[in-house]
Amino acid sequence: MLTQISVAIIALAFAVLVFFLIKTLKAATQSLEKVTQTLQEVQKTVDELTYELKQTIRNTNDITVDVQHKMKQIDPVMDTVKNLGEALSEVTYAVKQVSSGMVSKFKQSRTEQKKEQHVRTEVPLTASERTFQSYDAVYNHDAEPAQEKSRSRNWLGYVDTAVGLWNSFRRQKAR
């Protein structure tokens, strides 16, 4: 009888073990199904992203081709701007040379005039000359700025003439 009870306990223990194994296997099966479903969703998302990525790359390639085409069209304009910059640089240099020459001549003539005035003002010969000189110094002080204004206008006229000549020269050189 003891063997029969032992066999019954073993059979009962085996049945409980099989019951819990079945329960565990069902839980594992459900987990694997969820993992499979998640992997399918991930694969679907990756496929969609791959399609969108390919479209984006195609659009980027189209834009690159369009930009390259437009850059080729802009190249002559850029060359023209470069040539214009060089021409303006040359004109600026020429105007600078002309103006520095004019300024040095202006300063030299101004210095010579001041020396002449200084020599004249140093030693007046008579009392009447001294009176006229003081009168001119007090009442005719506006005469010098008018002369300076006319000189500056003459100087600007020289600069305008030089720029006109330079433009004529550049036009002839361009032909």
**Which of 4-8, 104-108, 138-142, 145-149 is predicted with the least confidence, judged by mean pLDDT?**
145-149
Contact 119, 175 (CB under 8 A): no
The mean pLDDT value of the chain amounts to 80
Q: What is the 8-class DSSP label of residue 33?
A: H
| 19-78 pLDDT, tens digit each | 999 999 999 999 999 999 999 999 999 999 999 999 999 999 999 999 999 988 888 888
d(CA 171, CA 175): 7
The pLDDT value recorded for residue 98 is: 80
d(CA 20, CA 133): 133
The pLDDT value recorded for residue 162 is: 78
d(CA 32, CA 38): 10
DSSP for 86-122, written as a single string: HHHHHHHHHHHHHHHHHHHHHHHHHHHHHHHHHHHHH
**Confidence band for 108, pLDDT divided at 50, 70 and 90:** confident
**Confidence band for 16, pLDDT divided at 50, 70 and 90:** very high
143 pLDDT higher than 70: no
Q: Whats the size of the chain, residue-wise? A: 175
The residue with greater pLDDT, 59 or 118, is 59
The pLDDT value recorded for residue 77 is: 80
Q: Give the pTM.
A: 0.36
**Confidence band for 154, pLDDT divided at 50, 70 and 90:** low
User: The tokens of 121 are what?
Assistant: 């003002």
